[in-house]
Amino acid sequence: MKGKIFLLVPLTLLALSIALPTKATTDWYVEAQLEIIGFEYVGLDPEERGFLFDVPFVGVAGGPNIIEGTVEGVDHVLIEWDFLTVHLNVYVTITDNEGDKISAHVTGRGVSKNPGLIIFEDAVGTIIDVSDYPTTGKYIGLVDKTFTDEGFVSGFSTDPPGGYIHVKWYWT
C-alpha cells in the first residue's frame, strides 16, 4: 500500500502540471483599494449612447513596486441607456511614501453583473505625465507604458454616492 501511495504522488503532480495552466509572472504590478466619494451628472453623451457622470475616488495602493501609496482620481464615465454597461475614462494619480507620483489614463468597459457589482472588461491603461496628472521621480521612465487593469466595483450607489473599487494594474 505504501508503495502505491508513493507512485500516486508523482503521477498526481504530473497530471496537475498538465491540467492547470501556468500563470504568467508579472514584471510590475500594483493593487489599489478605492472608495467612490461622489457621483456628479455631467450631461448626455454627444453621440447619444447614454449619460455622462464624473465619479471621483480616493484610496490606497501598494505592492512590490509602490510602497504605501495614496490614490486620487476621477472616472469621466459614460453609462449606457440600459444602465448595464459603463465605459471607463479614468484619470488617476498614485503618490508613494517618498512623494513620487505615477499617473495613468485607463479605458475599458464595466459590466453590471448584480445590483451594485460592476466587473471591468477589456480595461487597459497607459502611464501618463500631464499637468493635472503628473508622473515624477523614479516612475518617470514608465511614461507611455501600457498595462492591464483588472478589477471590479462593489457596493455601488448613486444616492448617496458610494462604493468601492478593487483593482490591479500589471504588465508582463
Domains and CATH numbers, the chain: 23-171 (2.40.160.20)
Would you place residue 21 in the very low, low, confident or very high pLDDT band (cuts 50, 70, 90)? very low
The pLDDT > 70 percentage for the chain reads 84
Looking at residue 66, its amino acid is I
Closest CA to 130 of 149, 146, 145, 143: 143
User: Is pLDDT at 14 greater than 60 in this prediction?
Assistant: no
CB of 162 closer than 8 Å to CB of 156: yes
Phi, psi of 14 (to 5 degrees): -65, -45
pLDDT at 164 over 50: yes
How far apart, in whole angstroms, are the C-alpha atoms of residue 169 and residue 161? 25
Whole-angstrom distance, CA of residue 2 vs CA of residue 86 = 58
Phi-psi region of 158 (alpha: psi -120 to 50; beta: other; left: phi over 0): alpha
pLDDT at 2: 44
CA 57 vs. chain centroid, Å, equals 13
Q: Give the whole-angstrom CA distance, residue 125 versus residue 67.
A: 20
Does residue 115 have a cis bond before it (omega within 30 degrees)? no
Q: Which residue in the block uniquely carries the three cell numbers 497530471? A: 15
pLDDT at residue 135 is higher than 50: yes
Residue type, 13: L
Note the pTM of the prediction, 2 decimals: 0.82
Instruction: Cell 500631464: give the residue.
Output: 130
